[in-house]
Structure 1
């Protein structure tokens, strides 16, 4: 079995549902929003020759649980006390894969969230970057969380995604469903392509940016799904509204819960 196929099989049996390989040279040239803790592949692992991207389907909203101290600020990492279940889950699974690569193949690999994983998923042919800036996949819509893995192995990259899923969607012909769904009008209407990085969504209008504040204005509080005093479910209103994600409700969730 070819190395790429072997790694893919290991990833899919290890808890991921989507797997692809991005063109690492293209990602070196991609602009990304500042202040989000993102970096180029060469800044994280200079000796990397390939970039693997893997996606885990979010079939239960509980997987979006997060806990933070007041006033954490943003999601760019560092020493801030911010804990997110899906980040921890996909990264742990990716580290298991990296360990297997090292122990069984003698290949170095480093999982990371610090790359522009959305663009990496697009380059790997896994989905289209939709109007809410999330990766829309044909199988699961935007209900996927991603992790990248840089490796010294030379793996042939996949072809970029070619379909415009938003343009194809009949329910989004007049106005995108995700744009209409946002209660704070945080998403600027229209395609994400051609918009400067970080400007497609007005971050200050997004409820996610206010979940970490110490004294939260009631305007934002009413849309925050609290589970403890400093624990909450991240806002996923635009993701849940996406028509492509409905297959998760109709097929994935019932199967996971043993209904069908």
Structure 2
């Protein structure tokens, strides 16, 4: 087993289901939306030579729990504090892999959410950026949360994902189901490719953006899944509508719950 395959195997042991290596040089030149706390790989780790991308399947909606203080900031560390279960979970698992790389291989590695992870996943051959701007994977649709791992190792990049899964999907030929499902028409119809980063989803129309408000208007409240006064289940309406994600309901969930 070569080192790349060994790292992949260890990542699976740590709880990830998807693994790939992006072309770090290509990701360095990718445009990304402003105000989202994103950075180039070199800004995070200047001696990084490779970027690993790992995905964890969201098989239970409880994994989308989030807590925020009231404020007007965004999700990148603005005025509001923001805590998200899946962010914490994938980062913790990635740090376990980083520690293994250091202890067993003497290799430096740093997990991060701050690079454009969706593009990194596409470059790593793991999925297609769909009409709702989420990474659509053949295995699990968009029901995956991602983390990048920058490392000083030189690993061979995988090839970018070659298929347009949205164009291939028979149920989305007339109108994309993710676009149709959004109760506020926040998603602009059509492919994400060719649209200015950050403009494919109208941020102010997205339910998630209003969870940070102090006094949430009833217009948004009816689609917010509240756990506590400031705890929410993030809106996943467009993700749940994607036909590619149905395998999670049909295969992964029964197995995880001991029902298969």
What TM-score, normalized by structure 1, do the two folds share? 0.99
Q: Give CA-to-partner distance per residue, 1:101-133, whole Å, 9 cap, x none.
A: 001100000000000000000000000000000
What is the total number of aligned residue pairs between the two structures? 260
Alignment partners' CA distance in 2, 1:249 and 1:153? 37
Match of 1:232 in 2: 232
Q: In the alignment, which residue of structure 2 is the partner of 1:150? A: 150
Instruction: Show structure 2 runs of 5+ residues with no match.
Output: none
Cα distance change of structure 1 residues 102 and 88 upon mapping to structure 2, 3 Å threshold: same
Cα offset, 1:141, TM superposition: 0.1
What secondary structure, in the 3-state scheme, does the structure 1 residue paired with 2:209 have? helix
Q: Please list, as runs of the form range in 1=range in 2, the aligned pairs for 1:159-170 lying within 5 A after superposition.
A: 159-170=159-170
1:211 is paired with a residue whose SS is helix
- Structure 1 position 73, deviation (Å): 1.8
| Residue of structure 2 in register with 1:117 after alignment | 117
1-side partners of 2:199 and 2:249: how far apart?
30
Give CA-to-partner distance per residue, 1:45-72, whole Å, 9 cap, x none: 0000000000000000000000011115
Gapped runs of 5+ residues in structure 1? Answer: none
Contact 1:72 1:82 in 2 (8 A): no
**In structure 1, what is the Cα distance between the partners aligned to 2:237 and 2:80?**
25
Q: 1:81: Cα distance to partner?
A: 1.9
RMSD value, Cα: 0.8
The corresponding residue for 1:218 is: 218
Q: CA–CA distance in 2 between the matches of 1:153 and 1:242?
A: 36
Partner Cα distance (2:259, 2:9) in 1: 27
Residues 132 and 187 in structure 1, CA contact (< 8 A), matched pair in contact too: yes
* Correspondences of 1:1-260 after superposition (within 5 Å): 1-71=1-71, 73-77=73-77, 80-260=80-260
Assess if the C-alpha contact under 8 Å between 1:69 and 1:81 holds in 2: yes
Q: Contact 2:71/2:80 (CA < 8 Å) preserved in 1?
A: no
Mark the CA change 1:80 to 1:99 in structure 2 (over 3 Å): closer, same or farther.
farther
The alpha-carbon distance between structure 1 residues 189 and 79, as it changes in their structure 2 partners (threshold 3 A), is closer
SS in 1 for 2:149: strand
